[in-house]
């Protein structure tokens, strides 16, 4: 059985996900993959870190994007707020 994508109607998705994807994002996703140690990827990460420092108004060189789930982002945030010997309750 063949899948005919031309019969899928255009919709505006208003739920929590999936959501509509901008055409520029779809185009970027169609490009060849690069590895996380590729010099091109490292350049992109450096640029993203620079832009994030601007957004957050910091000069902290450890500012970096995290490619992970929202839960992983929250965990990373929490790990940066607690210190050794802090008591933490996780519900």
**Domain spans, the chain:** 34-83
pLDDT at 26: 92
Q: Which two tokens stand for residue 89?
A: 């309750």
Residue 3, classed as helix, strand or coil, is: coil
Q: What is the average pLDDT across 18-42? A: 93
pLDDT at 70 over 80: yes
pLDDT at 67: 79
Measured CA to CA in angstroms, residue 22 lies from 13, 26, 27, 35, 73 at distances of 12, 7, 9, 24, 23
Residue 58 pLDDT level (bands cut at 50, 70, 90): very high
Residue 32 pLDDT level (bands cut at 50, 70, 90): very high
């Amino acid at each position: 059985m063949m899948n005919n994508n031309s019969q899928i109607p255009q919709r505006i998705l208003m739920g929590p996900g999936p959501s509509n994807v901008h055409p520029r994002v779809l185009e970027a996703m169609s490009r060849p993959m690069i590895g996380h140690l590729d010099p091109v990827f490292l350049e992109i990460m450096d640029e993203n870190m620079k832009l994030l420092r601007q957004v957050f108004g910091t000069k902290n060189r450890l500012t970096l994007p995290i490619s992970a789930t929202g839960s992983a982002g929250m965990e990373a945030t929490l790990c940066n707020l607690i210190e050794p010997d802090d008591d933490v309750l996780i519900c």
